Structure 1
């Protein structure tokens, strides 16, 4: 009992536990708690977004490169890519054009671990097929297949720079593209 009297005397005779919390202080505490929860949720969702193997690709990229045709000729091309990752899936499009050549590649892919699988289509030639490969962290190697067509595609991403290399066994022999965001 003696220590309780000493405690109250040190606090000017008032015990803080018995003091009611003012409404303004309560509102401030609730606001601070809500802000902490919001920040924690944002950090957690940011971490989850980055855990997607496609997260480093998100957004719109543009650049240029060359395309090689079956006769060995090459043409300079301008390209634009859009990547829309959602968790382990991604929708993407790549459009490249020169004065005489154009292709519109679209793909929908899903990652399971480092394995990538999905489908692709090329609108101007009315061709579509499947994609299979491996990769993570914005770096992928896939094979695009369709009836009478196979292409190896390597995509390398480092920060805001990206290279796409395609090698095919048809009238379209390949492309080398460099892009940035």
Structure 2
């Protein structure tokens, strides 16, 4: 009888532990791992005055794949070039970091949220504010940037993974 009571206590403790583990809140997965690599695509730049231009784009994403990501997106055509660089950090669904756009001479900070399939970021700088979103779908992604305070009003890009 004593052996049974001791076994029952151990089983009850194990069941409680399983319930605790099973009901613990899930940690948000970083989307960075699915972004690391080389991307190619087409996009559109929206410029001051309502003008828009088609662009060819390359994206280079490096980093740990979990908590850190560096991105370099270069888009160009014969008359316009956009080069966006960012250093991002991810922790528990939140993203922070810095960014710069070299051809329009802008830079600032990034804050926002992330899930496995998307980034929703707010960008800010000296005279510029905006939003950056990335939708991730396996071997493709969509990048959308909208800004206020710059001649570059926004960029929309559809990428496919090439490496």
Aligned to 2:18: none
Which of the residues 156, 160, 163 maps onto 1:176?
156
Tell me how far apart the structure 2 counterparts of residues 130 and 152 of structure 1 sit (CA, whole Å).
11
Confirm whether residue 64 of structure 1 aligns to residue 42 of structure 2.
yes
Aligned to 1:148: 127
TM-score by length of 2: 0.76
| Runs of 4+ more than 3 Å apart | none
More helix by proportion, 1 or 2? 1
Higher relative contact order (CA 8 A, sep 6+): 2
Contact 1:144/1:153, CA 8 A, preserved across alignment: yes
Contact 2:41/2:58, CA 8 A, preserved across alignment: yes
More strand by proportion, 1 or 2? 2
Which of the residues 96, 106, 109 maps onto 1:127?
106
Number of residue pairs matched by the alignment = 131
Which of the residues 145, 156, 162 maps onto 1:166?
145
Provide the alpha-carbon RMSD of the alignment.
1.2
> How far off is 1:125 after superposition?
3.0
Cα deviation, 1:109-128, whole Å, max 9, x if unaligned, reads 10111110001112223321
Which of the residues 98, 117, 130 maps onto 2:77?
98
Contact 1:107/1:118, CA 8 A, preserved across alignment: yes
Report which of the two structures shows the higher radius of gyration computed on alpha carbons.
1
Q: After superposition, where does 1:73-92 map in structure 2 within 5 Å? A: 73-86=51-64, 87-92=66-71
Ranges in structure 1 where 5+ consecutive residues have no aligned partner: 1-50
TM-score by length of 1: 0.69
Ranges in structure 2 where 5+ consecutive residues have no aligned partner: 1-28
